[in-house]
Amino acid sequence: MTRPAHPVDIIDFLKRNDVMLPTLKIVDVGAMDVGEAEPWSGLVEIGAATLIGFEPNPPECEKLNASAGPNTQYLPHAVGDGGPHTLHIGAAPMTSSLLAPDPAVMQQFHALWELCEPTAEIPLDTARLDDIPAVRPMDFLKLDIQGAELMALEAGTAALTDTMAVQLEVGFLPIYKNQPLFSDVDAFLRARGFAFHTMVGVGSRPFRPLIKNGNPNRGFAQVIWSNALYFRDPLGFSAIAHDRPEALLKAAILAHELYGAFDFAAVALQHYGAARQPGLATAYIHALTAADSTITARNR
């Protein structure tokens, strides 16, 4: 497994500076194998992180476990609010959801309803994140469960207590019935000490009938969904440095390794260093600026 190519290897840097490396716990809800390695796969492979995955589609879960390496476990649970639900199996399995797709919204666009039209409905019980001991303490949470992300968050408030970063799919149009949208998810996470950082990719479709360059999967301007990244609000880092400074080290590793967010990682290391190892952030900044001439440091 090849780790992301960054100017500085964060794991090697921390080792060289005699930092005792923490082991991160990554929880991946909606871990269907789509043939692409996740950005944290390298951390898991080298033992810097453990992975707990959830995939309610049993064949997909079996496929994940069959190819899983060390430090990885996938469980065939549907994470939700702990109640009974119906899993709507989409024509493309990755579109399966606890929410029913809304044809009135989807059929406005090319190449959307064709993927999400239900082919089967499976009754199942859901599990609350707060009721699954294996996920605690959870350092990083990824959610991709087709519109049911807020449901899972609301039933995982205790598990979120330890979490330093959340990446989750968010919708800007209600393509599933009764689907909470980005604004709802954003309000929930901000109320719990998280701050929006960036969008990781966007999903779009063109309104019918027009298509550009023969591609029905790329819209002209309308964004329908994306993956939103949240970190703990840096304004709360002083308190975290006092209570659990190792969490800031984990945040720095996540920001650097997964997203190339070196500036955020430096801020986390500044607060960690103030509590545990003065000068660590300065050494990190020097390493970055020495390795990449496009990165500079200035206080004004």
What total number of domains does the chain contain? 1
Question: Is 145:79 a contact under the CB 8 Å cutoff?
Answer: yes
**277 assigned to some structural domain:** no
**212 assigned to some structural domain:** yes
Cβ neighbours of residue 65 closer than 8 Å, sequence gap 6 or more: 73, 74
**What pLDDT shows up at residue 30?**
85
206's enclosing H/E stretch is none
**What pLDDT shows up at residue 31?**
61
224's enclosing H/E stretch is strand 223-232
**15 assigned to some structural domain:** no
**272 assigned to some structural domain:** no
Range list of β-strands (E), 82-193: 84-90, 118-127, 140-143, 165-171
Q: Residue 253 has which token pair?
A: 């590793």
Low-confidence ranges of the chain (pLDDT < 70): 1, 31-35
**What pLDDT shows up at residue 35?**
63
**CATH code: domain of residue 36:** 3.40.50
Query: Which residues constitute the domain of residue 134?
Result: 20-232
Q: CA 280, CA 270: separation in Å to the nearest integer?
A: 7
**3 assigned to some structural domain:** no
